[in-house]
Amino acid sequence: MSVVPKILSRNWQLKASALAMAVLLWTVPRFDAQDSRVLEDVPVRVQLNDPMWTLVDEASPPTVTVTLSGPARELLGIGMDRPPVLIPMDEVLAGDTTVFLRPSWFRGSSRDGVVVEDVSPDVVRLTFEALDQRSLPFSISLFGSLPQGLSLAGPPEITPEVTAVFGPASRIAGMDSIGLQPLDLSTVDSSGPITLPVDSSVLQGLNVLPYEASVVIPTEATATREFPDIPVSVPRLAADPQLQSRPASVTVVLFGARTLVEGIDPADLRVAIPANRAMLAPGEEDTVVLAVEGIPPFVGFRVSPDWVTLRRPAGS
């Protein structure tokens, strides 16, 4: 049996440790040696401390090249971490600002022995926008249908009615309200208050206070009323022969919240032919869907029949 394998296998853990220590002792002087390094595509970031402005876009250019010198070990760590150039902006004086980059703004410059030799380019442009504050009303989007037997008795009641909005002036200027989270009417079983947060999709960089509101959905039991023999109002033409409607009257059925439906005066209802459908020459006829006027909001209707034949006689 060979003696060599026994020599290699005896105390193998001790031998491996000695080898690792030798490699480490050989590399330490190399890591301590002075070196230089060029880092490309170093990101430029902005630390904005002025509460009256917001950064519109990233810096231009968004990255720079940084040349460093120092201990090889530190430069290796910086290359792995990729720290940014961080621009502190304590006060913004104009929307378009040109900034000369300082070597000390490179976040890796604080490492022991590291020197920033150059930053290229050394100038970037920043675009800021002034912030504004306005009071805007809350709004809410409803979808779905109320449970069977319930109807809306009025618009949603929101408390508080307005919220303070803080953000870029250009965004706030184009807004007329702040939407709450949409509400599914099928989940409403009473008129009790529901707490809803602001719809986060409408914020996009805006801050609002308060961030939520209490919403009451007025509901009542559904009622139905039928109004027979409502005459069809036919447009009056400038010259004979005049238009004729068949049938000349219809039945209108209204449905909705009880107090709304019961409060309707039949004299306020008007069933009409749309004016843009009354352009008939003598001898022509057309099928026309009727329009109903005088119905208050939140009250539905149906007409029987829901269309009539509109005819203009040929004349004599």
Q: Is there a single domain that holds both residue 71 and residue 95?
A: yes
pLDDT digits (tens, 9 = 90+) for 230-277: 999 998 888 899 999 999 999 999 999 999 999 999 999 999 988 888
CATH number at residue 71: 2.170.120.30
| Per-residue model confidence (pLDDT) at position 17 | 61
Q: Is there a single domain that holds both residue 52 and residue 87?
A: yes
Average pLDDT over residues 64-79: 89
Four-residue CA torsion sign, 208, 211, 214, 215: positive
Q: Is there a single domain that holds both residue 87 and residue 165?
A: no
Average pLDDT over residues 269-294: 89
Percent pLDDT > 90 in the chain is 58
Among 150, 182, 217, the domain-final residue is 217
Q: Is there a single domain that holds both residue 195 and residue 234?
A: no
Is 154's pLDDT higher than 90?
A: yes
Specify if 80 maps to a domain. yes
CATH number at residue 193: 2.170.120
Q: Is there a single domain that holds both residue 241 and residue 283?
A: yes
Specify if 3 maps to a domain. no
Domain that holds residue 46: 33-130
Three-state SS letters, the chain = CCHHHHHHHCCHHHHHHHHHHHHHHHHHHHHHCEEEEEEEEEEEEEEECCCCEEECCCCECCEEEEEEEEEHHHHHHHHHHCCCEEEEECCCCCCEEEEECCHHHECCCCCCCCEEEEEECCEEEEEEEEEEEEEEEEECCEECCCCCCEEECCCCEEECCEEEEEEEHHHHHCCCCEEECCEEHHHCCCCCCEEEEECHHHCCCCEEECCEEEEECCEEEEEEEEEEEEEEECCCCCCCCCCEEECCEEEEEEEEEHHHHHCCCHHHCEEECCHHHCCCCCCCEEEEECEEECCCCCEEEEEECCEEEEECCCCC
Q: Is there a single domain that holds both residue 236 and residue 164?
A: no
Average pLDDT over residues 165-182: 90
| Per-residue model confidence (pLDDT) at position 1 | 47
Q: Is there a single domain that holds both residue 125 and residue 39?
A: yes
Is 3's pLDDT higher than 90?
A: no
| Per-residue model confidence (pLDDT) at position 25 | 46
Q: Is there a single domain that holds both residue 226 and residue 185?
A: no
Specify if 135 maps to a domain. no
Specify if 5 maps to a domain. no
Global pTM reads 0.62
Among 97, 112, 130, the domain-final residue is 130
| Per-residue model confidence (pLDDT) at position 211 | 93
| Per-residue model confidence (pLDDT) at position 57 | 86
State how many domains the chain has: 3
Q: Is there a single domain that holds both residue 206 and residue 243?
A: no
Specify if 24 maps to a domain. no
Q: Is there a single domain that holds both residue 277 and residue 306?
A: yes
Specify if 302 maps to a domain. yes
Specify if 208 maps to a domain. yes
Q: Is there a single domain that holds both residue 205 and residue 230?
A: no
Specify if 41 maps to a domain. yes
Average pLDDT over residues 189-198: 84
Among 82, 102, 130, the domain-final residue is 130
Average pLDDT over residues 86-114: 89
Q: Is there a single domain that holds both residue 236 and residue 270?
A: yes
